[in-house]
């Protein structure tokens, strides 16, 4: 893959990469389409990265569909699919990891210690192997995108990072590979994340509410009303660029949340 990328670059081709963990949905497809507009050759990587899963998380049962993924990538015009295995990416006696210190400590980083260490390490390795000019990530994983953008800046990667809009189902649920875990009844309750974000945005835009505590309380009520069994990991109001927490809403604020719906952990966010 590295030799192929070098040859493409030597031929003057602009390379785009879309890193994924597979089991592709329309959200992933939108990222590939975005990369196609900005580059000559699009490489989609598929790798379920063990370094970003804690021992108690769903690595072993994470959904996989390699043949289906390749077919979807071909259909949308993807050029190359890179599917390494864990032994290739983390050979015996592997010792080197990358840690973005501040941005990775809050939100997902606080709930899932070590998660972003695994993310940044594997993304850096993918960048070294594929040598892209641009890389496209999804807004649903906004903190991840910000962490990677910081890594690229700090380590002087000549790569433009694109964070593309979240693709949603008709009822607003953010598309995710984990949505397949739901029964039809549970799936209806999964909309609680988006519903709470929509209420928050309405409170800010229409009702002119600025106090975070009031908005958070209303969001919790909405979530529990739709899914009484929901377990809320966090509802956070932060600065869009720094991810520093805010108490009063202004035009730089983003609301992010993580909720376990019938045992399935979902994340989402929205600019307020």
Handedness of CA 245, 250, 251, 256 (dihedral sign): positive
Structure token digits, residue 176: 């995710």
Convert 18-75 into a string of H (helix), E (strand) and C (coil). Answer: EEECCCCCHHHHHHHHHHHHHCCEEEEEECCCHHHCCCCCCCCCCCCCHHHHHHHHHH
CA distance from start to end of the chain = 41
CA distances from 71 to 64, 66, 77, 179, 184 (A): 14, 9, 10, 21, 26
Tell me the CB-side half-sphere exposure of residue 192, using CA atoms within 13 A: 30
245: DSSP letter: B
164, 186, 213 - which closes a domain: 164
189 & 147 share domain: no
Inter-helix orientation angle 115-130/142-154, to 10°: 60
Kindly state whether residue 262 falls inside one of the protein's structural domains: yes
Q: What is the pLDDT of residue 182?
A: 97
The CATH number of the domain holding residue 258 is: 3.30.1300.10
Are 132 and 40 in contact, with CB atoms under 8 Å apart? no
- 143 and 15 belong to one structural domain: yes
Asked which of 130, 164, 198 is the last residue of a domain, the reply is: 164
Residue 92 within any structural domain of the chain: yes
- Whether 170 is in a domain gets the answer no
Q: Is 115 a catalytic residue?
A: no
Within a domain: 169: no
Greatest Cα-to-Cα distance within the chain, rounded to the nearest angstrom? 57
Catalytic residue, chosen from 28, 56, 115, 262, is 28
Specify whether 131 is located in the same domain as 250. Answer: no
CA distance 79 to 60: 29
**Per-residue confidence (pLDDT) for residue 59, from 0 to 100:** 86
Do 159 and 189 belong to one domain? Answer: no
* Cα(218)–Cα(201) distance, integer angstroms: 11
Which of 136, 164, 192 terminates a domain? The answer is 164
Structural tokens at position 177: 């590979």
CB 243 within 8 A of CB 107: yes
- pLDDT by 10s per residue, the chain, length 272: 999 999 999 999 999 999 999 999 999 999 999 999 999 999 999 999 999 998 888 788 889 999 999 999 999 999 999 999 999 999 999 999 999 999 999 999 999 999 999 999 999 999 999 999 999 999 999 999 999 999 999 999 999 999 999 999 999 999 999 999 999 999 999 999 999 999 999 999 999 999 999 999 999 999 999 999 999 999 999 999 999 999 999 999 999 999 999 999 999 999 99
- Give me the domain span that covers residue 36: 2-164
């Amino acid at each position: 893959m590295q030799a192929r990328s070098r040859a493409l670059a030597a031929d003057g081709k602009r390379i785009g990469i879309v890193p994924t963990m597979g089991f592709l949905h329309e959200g992933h497809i939108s990222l590939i389409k975005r990369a196609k507009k900005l580059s000559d050759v699009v490489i989609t990587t598929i790798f379920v990265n063990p370094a970003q899963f804690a021992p108690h998380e769903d690595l072993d049962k994470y959904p996989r569909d390699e043949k289906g993924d390749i077919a979807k990538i071909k259909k949308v015009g993807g050029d190359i699919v890179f599917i390494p295995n864990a032994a290739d990416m983390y050979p015996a006696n592997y010792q080197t990891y990358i840690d973005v210190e501040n941005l990775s400590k809050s939100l997902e980083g606080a709930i899932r210690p070590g998660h972003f260490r695994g993310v940044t390490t594997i993304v850096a390795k993918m960048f070294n192997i594929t040598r892209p000019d641009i890389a496209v990530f999804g807004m649903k994983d906004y903190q991840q995108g910000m962490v990677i953008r910081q890594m690229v800046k700090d380590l002087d990667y000549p790569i433009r990072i694109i964070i593309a809009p979240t693709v949603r189902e008709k009822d607003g649920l953010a598309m995710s590979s984990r949505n397949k875990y739901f029964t039809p009844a549970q799936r209806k309750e999964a909309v609680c994340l988006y519903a709470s974000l929509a209420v928050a945005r309405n409170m800010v835009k229409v009702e002119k509410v600025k106090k975070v505590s009031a908005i958070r309380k209303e969001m919790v009520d909405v979530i529990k009303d739709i899914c009484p069994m929901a377990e809320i990991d966090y509802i956070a109001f932060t600065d869009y660029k720094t991810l520093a927490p805010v108490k009063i809403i202004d035009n730089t604020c983003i609301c992010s949340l993580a909720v376990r719906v019938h045992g399935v952990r979902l994340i989402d966010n929205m600019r307020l």
